Structures are given as C-alpha cells and as structure tokens.
Amino acid sequence: MDIEERLKDWNERVLKSWNSKRPERKSKFLTKSGLEVKPLYTELDLKGDYTEKLGFPGEYPFTRGVYPSMYRGRIWTIRQYAGFGSAEQTNRRFRSLIQAGQTGLSMAFDLPTQLGLDPDHPLAYSEVGVVGVSMPHWKEMSMVMEEIPLDRVTTSMTINATAAELVSMYITAAKAQGVDKEKLDGTIQNDILKEYIARKNFIYPPNPSMRYSVDLIQYLSKEVPKWHPISISGYHIREAGSDAVQEVAFAIADGIEYVRRTKERGVEVDTFAPTLSFFFAAYMNLFEEVAKFRAARRVWAKIMKDWFGAKKVESMSMKFHTQTGGAELTAQQPEVNIVRTTIQALAAVLGGTQSLHVNAYDEALGLPTEKAAKLAVRVQQVIANESGVTETVDPMGGSYYLEWLTDELEEKVWRKIEQVERMGGMVRAVELGFPQREIAESAYRLQKRIEEGDLPVIGVNIYREEEEQEVEIFRPDSEARDKVISRLRSYRGERLEEKVKDSLNQLTKVAEKEEVNVVPYILECIKRGVTVGEISGVLREVWGEYRDPSIF
C-alpha cells in the first residue's frame, strides 16, 4: 500500500472514528493570516524538487538561510530599539543595554525629528522626546554616542523622511570621534514607501521622496561601504493590520521599486544590492512566521536573479532584522507579554533572522522601564544559549507542515506582487490607495476574529481578570524638552550664519535638479551647523508637502 492509500485508510478508519467520539475543538483551524490547516501533513503535500525549493544554507534560493553555518558561526545581533527624551538619557539607556549584553544599537527618534521639525517649532513642542530622542543637530548625535566607539559598534536608525540628515549627523559625530565614514557600520531605515502605506510619517510627495531615498542608497553604497542604506520594512505594514502575506508582498514590492529606480540611474545592481536589508515582524503563530521568513528569502532571491540579473550571492540573499509584534502586546496582564515575545523571538530565530529586537513586556503601557528592557535582552540570550535551537541550521526544515506552509505563503506573495506590478509598481499602487485598502480590510478581519473569540488573546477575550495588575511605568524626564530647546538656541548662536545661508542656498539649487544627488549637500549643511528643521524647510519649499487623500 503506497502513502496515498495509507493516508486515505488512516483518515477513514482511524481519524473519523476518533473524532466521532472526541470531536475537534473547532470545525476549521486557521492560521493568523487565514490559511486553513489540515489535521496532518505528509510528503504528499510537498511540491517541486528538493534542491530547487530548499537547496542548502548560503546558496540560492536561500530558503534555509543566507549563511552556510548560520548561528553555529555567530549568533544574530541583539539589537534593542531605544531612545527617548534628551541625548543624555538615550546615551545612558544605550550603555545600560550594552552592559546587559546587547550587541548592536537601534535608535528611536521623536516625531518632530522624523517629520523635519526642530524642537522649538510650534507643532513640535508637545512631542519633543516622547517616542524617541530629539535630534535637531549633529552635536546632539555626538552626545548620544558619547563613550560609544563608532568604529566598533553597529547602529540602526529608524528614520525615513529625514534619513539623509540623520546619517549625515552620524557621519559628522563619528568624524569628531576621529572615525572616518568608511569604517562606519549600521543601517538607516530610509524606506519612505512604507510610510505612505502604513506609518504615515512622510513629508514630501512620493516621487521626490523616492528620489531622496534612492540618492541615499546611491551615496552610501559608494561612500560608506559597510553601511546598509535602506531597511525595507514589512514590520510597520504588519503592525498596521496586514496579514503575513501582505507584509512580505508589499515589502518586497517596495524593494523592487527601490532596486528598479537605482538601476535606472545606471548603477550596476551588484554594486548596491548586497547592502540592501529588510525588516519584518515576528507574530504569534510560530509555524506561519517561520514559513513566512523562508518564503520571503526565496521570493527575493528569484526576483534579484531573474528580474534584475544579479550575479553575486550577496545580491540575491535577503538579510533582515526582526522585531517582535508590538500590536500583539496587551495592557491586560502585561507580564504574559514575556511569554508572547519569547515565542515571537523564537519564530524569528527559527526563521533565520540576522538581528533581533524583543519588545519589553510593559510597552503596551508606555516606553519600557530599564528593568523591562534588560529582561527583553535576557529573552534573546536564553534562546541563544540555552534552547539548543542554534546548534543546527534550519532545524525545522523538512517538516511536512512547514514546507507546505512555506509553499502556500510563497504562492500568495507572488500573486500579490503581480497585482502591484500590473498597476505600474508600488509608487502608483500607493497613489491609487491599493495597499492602504488591503491593510485596512485585513485589520478589520483580524479584529473581528478576536471579538468573535476565534482568535484567543489571553486577558482580552479569554482568561480575563477584573483586577488590574500594578506595573511600574516609565516616566520620561519632564525637563528633557527644555534642555534640548535651550541647547538648540545656543547652537544656533554659535554657528557662522554666512556658511549656514550659503549651504542652504546650494541645497535649494540641487533640489531643483533631479539629476543631482542631494545627499552630499545635506551632509555639508549638517557640518556647517544647519538643523533638521532648516533642511526640511528648504526641501518643503522646492518639493512641496504631501497630503494623503485617505487622511485629509
């Protein structure tokens, strides 16, 4: 009897008999993204040739990982996202995390910095230092990095609409430390497309914003060769309510747009593609998340090889950072979030991430306390050192269920990418509101499943407790805003105004010429004492401001 006959016999003779006496808990089992799950998977569910679909780690199509030895050689970078208030406060938190065992920095900026407003701007006042550190000029960056050697640390910066200004500050602060830009290692997010799709922290219209992002990719790939000039983000798309398929498909569609526009400038793909990186979320359905990461690598490898003619292995291999799901944290019974983030982090590791941030258990209530942030580092360390999952490459590879799920997700991702391509690419899709509508509909479906009890959430729709737990909540220094504004005014008073005006005039001229890269001129502005708000003010005048039709 072959496997197909044996499976049929088992279903009829064993499973049906068992279920007639002990019914299953649900009539239908679905993943978080709505894929229906069968009770059992066998080799009959596998598609295609083993070497074609899976291959080997470090080789095309990279399903099993981008490096041959993965974590047997080196553990992923423990990169906890941090930043609040003033430069001094963020510096103290960074040094505390490094002491706890963090191996890479990840910097959060406040909304005024993200939106190109100086902290003394009337619209900025109430948001200075609230969701990240205030960063109006390069000397604040220098204070954040005090006693942190920039030639020996990797830094990730979550910044998009003002990415060139912030990386210019980092370069200038490094020079003040005696470190040349060629030695700097890190990542700048610089993914403006996902801002239009999900996060909404944009300034300029899509086309000049794309020019700005591609200018930065082109400049950093040549001038700061160890730096990743973009982190193409599915994370924020997922946090806005997308499912796993949309997260990967829209992020890769964004990546296609960046690669296409960089190539259109005559830049050879293998000169910049190795420095591209991605950023994904890790959510609670462990198998679906692991399969998602494996499918994403496979899709990106095929696109880079077949669509863009990449030849280098590094150009085809998708390297990504992962953050555990912030939207899945609950304010109810917050300590249960430690369990959630552990499972999410495990999914990221089993899925082959290159760096990882684990959310602190108290982040549904506010910025993390130092205790909660340190515990989040310990979650990663326990997985890395005690769980055994790092001892072999792709330990879940070969699971019939996982391989079926990887194939299913890959097929759905391709269909979604093809939809975007038929519209003319992601910029046009954004203008038409396609990804925005898709994510809104997905968020509605997800919330409906939670409210109907189909998706259990401990403390929210199951095992609720009437008494609220007392949890220590982090309170930023209320005087941080005043310190930042006072220093900004002193900074403006000490600079040479003629040099400031001259550099801003030069920036105005090049911003009007699409064929000129604006990044060297932004860097020159920063060196001469120009602030983020002043640079953005010039670019606003030339490029205009974008008003999202779905908001206004």
- Whether residue 520 has a cis bond before it, omega within 30° of 0: no
Extended beta strands in 254-319, E state: 277-282
> What does the pLDDT look like over 86-97, one tens digit per residue?
999 999 999 999
Asked if pLDDT for residue 64 goes beyond 60, the answer is yes
What is the C-alpha to C-alpha distance for residues 309 and 303, in angstroms, rounded to an integer? 9
Q: What is the mean pLDDT of residues 362-375?
A: 94
What is the C-alpha to C-alpha distance for residues 277 and 533, in angstroms, rounded to an integer? 28
Q: What is the mean pLDDT of residues 111-128?
A: 96
294 near 306, Cβ under 8 Å?
no
8-state DSSP, 307: I
> What does the pLDDT look like over 42-61, one tens digit per residue?
999 998 887 788 999 999 99
Q: Which amino acid is at 336?
A: V
- For the ranges 2-6, 210-214, 388-392, the lowest mean pLDDT is seen at 2-6
Q: Rounded to the nearest 5 degrees, what angle is found at the Cα of 295, between the Cα atoms of 455 and 458?
A: 20
pLDDT of residue 86: 92
Give the dihedral of Cα atoms 389, 392, 397, 398; nearest 10 deg.
Answer: -120
pLDDT of residue 551: 55
Q: What is the mean pLDDT of residues 413-418?
A: 98
Instruction: Count CB-CB contacts under 10 A for residue 2.
Output: 7
8-state DSSP, 60: T
What mean pLDDT, rounded, does the chain reach?
Answer: 95
Q: What is the mean pLDDT of residues 514-535?
A: 97
82 strand-pairing partners: 107
> What does the pLDDT look like over 133-183, one tens digit per residue?
999 999 999 999 999 999 999 999 999 999 999 999 999 999 999 999 999
**What pTM value is reported for the model?**
0.95
Question: What's the burial of 5, exposed, middle or buried (CB within 10 Å: 0-12/13-18/19+)?
Answer: exposed
Confidence of residue 185 (pLDDT cuts 50, 70, 90): very high
pLDDT of residue 1: 67
Asked if pLDDT for residue 372 goes beyond 80, the answer is yes
- Collapsed DSSP state (helix, strand, coil) of residue 157: strand
Asked if pLDDT for residue 434 goes beyond 60, the answer is yes
pLDDT of residue 467: 79
Asked if pLDDT for residue 98 goes beyond 90, the answer is yes
Closest CA to 454 of 462, 444, 463, 465: 462
Q: What percent of the chain has pLDDT over 70?
A: 99
> What does the pLDDT look like over 316-342, one tens digit per residue?
999 999 999 999 999 999 999 999 999
Asked if pLDDT for residue 109 goes beyond 80, the answer is yes
pLDDT of residue 239: 98
What is the C-alpha to C-alpha distance for residues 354 and 156, in angstroms, rounded to an integer? 13
Asked if pLDDT for residue 306 goes beyond 60, the answer is yes
Q: Note the CATH architecture for domain 45-451.
A: Alpha-Beta Barrel (3.20)
pLDDT of residue 152: 93
Asked if pLDDT for residue 233 goes beyond 70, the answer is yes
Asked if pLDDT for residue 460 goes beyond 70, the answer is yes
pLDDT of residue 550: 64
pLDDT of residue 48: 84
What is the C-alpha to C-alpha distance for residues 278 and 299, in angstroms, rounded to an integer? 13
Domain ranges (residues) in the chain: 45-451
What is the C-alpha to C-alpha distance for residues 340 and 324, in angstroms, rounded to an integer? 9
Q: Residues near 211 by Cβ (< 8 Å), separated by ≥ 6?
A: 514, 518
What is the C-alpha to C-alpha distance for residues 171 and 57, in angstroms, rounded to an integer? 35
DSSP labels, 21-34: HS--S-S--B-TT-
Instruction: Count CB-CB contacts under 10 A for residue 20.
Output: 8
Asked if pLDDT for residue 112 goes beyond 60, the answer is yes
Q: What is the mean pLDDT of residues 286-295?
A: 98
Q: What is the mean pLDDT of residues 9-27?
A: 94
376 near 368, Cβ under 8 Å?
yes
Confidence of residue 196 (pLDDT cuts 50, 70, 90): very high
Q: What is the mean pLDDT of residues 395-424?
A: 97
